[in-house]
Amino acid sequence: MFKSFLIVFSLLVSSFHVSAADSPAPVKVVIAGLVHGHVSGFLHKANQGSVEIVGIYEPNQEVVNRYKERFQLEKVSFGADLPKMLDELKPQAIWVFTNTYDHLAAVEAAAPRGIHVIVEKPLAVDKAAADRMAALAREHKIHLLTNLETTWYACLGEAHRICVEEQQLGVLTKIVGHFGHPGPDRVQPEFLEWLKDPKLNGGGASSDFGCYGGVITTWLLGNQRPKSVTAVFQTNRPETWTKVDDNATLILEYPHAQGIIQASWDWTFPRKDVEIYGRKGIIRTINPTDYDIRLERAKSFEQKTAAPLPAPYGTSVEYFAAVIRGEIDPKGSMSSLETNLIAMEIQEAARESAKTGKKVVLP
């Protein structure tokens, strides 16, 4: 009996060593900036096998001290000179948590060094910056990826399978997205400081949440560009948001479909849900996992729970690590450069429409 146990134990140990040896090395990453609140979520997930944080760039020492204490980062290299840090540490990628305006500077530092770049949504502060970033990424053959929370929603993965891959809804005719919350009043002070600055954020709710709708609609419609964009931006709480909008509605015109994006910092509760209409049915996402569907012969909606997204598609850290290792081609995904460039074009047209009160026809 004991001899049999030893044999089984030896096989288990041997199997563990084989699997450990086969596991890819973690991707070496420098965090560029700590003033975007989403960095907290990344720090909770990092250093768990897929990614190794080798350095953090942040010029604000007060912010550095706070994160050092909270996440016990005493062993991580910190610096206030990003190009110097990249030369010394030679990471494979940088993950950018600056304000949106500084995304361009991060790409300008990383791309010529052959270092891949991941930014938090949206891709850039405006189309001009996005085009410059894209040109640098293509010239230096790096990945330039955008992280949106909704990319990791199992319900949207399931909706894409049903609508796009299997075409169960037939021709898609309308996509309506709702993205918002009661407002970012209670976020970290360094985060709020740039969120309410139109130069650093590109706008208010229209930029912060409108980008979700632009990306998801583009992704579901196979990276089609809309024919036109019509938008209304307004500020319902001018005493709080003195320089930016807190409510926005965008209407996207396609040859055979419409996209409607509602973005808000003035809703009772947070929501990120999408309604997808086709000639043969409707899908409505409810939360990250649940959705309901009604096909043409059904008498009512059927609520379902999507299966978890398979690894490495279920989390940003695992997915982006796999892309950087060359295991996944991100083309056509919600994270891809192509998809996010179209979303930036939509956002730029929406700003122009809201400013002029006219429909903007895309060239």
Domain borders along the chain are 2-147, 150-309+330-361
Q: Worst-scoring range by mean pLDDT, 65-74, 96-105, 124-133?
A: 65-74
Does residue 213 have a pLDDT over 90? yes
Cα separation values, 281 from 55, 178, 223, 248, 301, Å? 49, 19, 22, 28, 10
Do 100 and 207 meet the contact criterion of CB atoms below 8 Å apart? yes
Token readout for 51 is 């990614």
Does residue 20 have a pLDDT over 70? no
Cα separation values, 5 from 1, 8, 19, 195, Å? 6, 5, 21, 60
Residue 290 burial by Cβ neighbours in a 10 Å radius (0-12, 13-18, 19+): middle
Calculate what percentage of the chain has a pLDDT beyond 90.
89
Calculate what percentage of the chain has a pLDDT beyond 70.
93
* 192 phi/psi in degrees, rounded to 5: -60, -35
Q: Which pLDDT does position 48 carry in this prediction?
A: 66
Single pTM value for the model: 0.92
Q: d(Cα 318, Cα 15) in Å, to the nearest integer?
A: 23
CA atoms within 13 A on the CB side of 167: 4
> Cβ of 237: how many Cβ atoms within 10 Å?
13
Query: pLDDT digits over 317-346, tens only?
Result: 999 999 999 999 999 999 999 999 999 999
Q: Which pLDDT does position 18 carry in this prediction?
A: 39
Closest CA to 177 of 148, 146, 201, 136: 148
Terminal CA-to-CA distance of the chain, rounded, Å? 77
Token readout for 272 is 């990120």
Cα separation values, 250 from 182, 210, 293, 304, Å? 19, 8, 25, 29
Q: d(Cα 61, Cα 127) in Å, to the nearest integer?
A: 31
Radius of gyration (C-alpha) of the chain in whole angstroms:
22
Q: Which fold has domain 2-147?
A: Rossmann fold (3.40.50)
Closest CA to 159 of 312, 313, 278: 278
Options 3.60.21.10, 1.10.10.60, 3.30.360.10, 3.40.640.10; which CATH number does 150-309+330-361 get? Answer: 3.30.360.10
Does residue 12 have a pLDDT over 60? no
Q: Worst-scoring range by mean pLDDT, 8-12, 154-158, 260-264, 325-329?
A: 8-12
Token readout for 314 is 């279920």
Q: Worst-scoring range by mean pLDDT, 9-23, 230-244, 252-266?
A: 9-23
Token readout for 195 is 């969120």
Q: d(Cα 158, Cα 286) in Å, to the nearest integer?
A: 12
Cα separation values, 193 from 230, 246, 262, 264, Å? 29, 15, 24, 18
Does residue 44 have a pLDDT over 90? no
CA atoms within 13 A on the CB side of 118: 28
Average pLDDT of the chain, as a whole number: 93
Query: pLDDT digits over 50-97, tens only?
Result: 999 999 999 999 999 999 999 988 889 999 999 999 999 999 999 999
Residue that the structure tokens 């019509």 belong to: 230
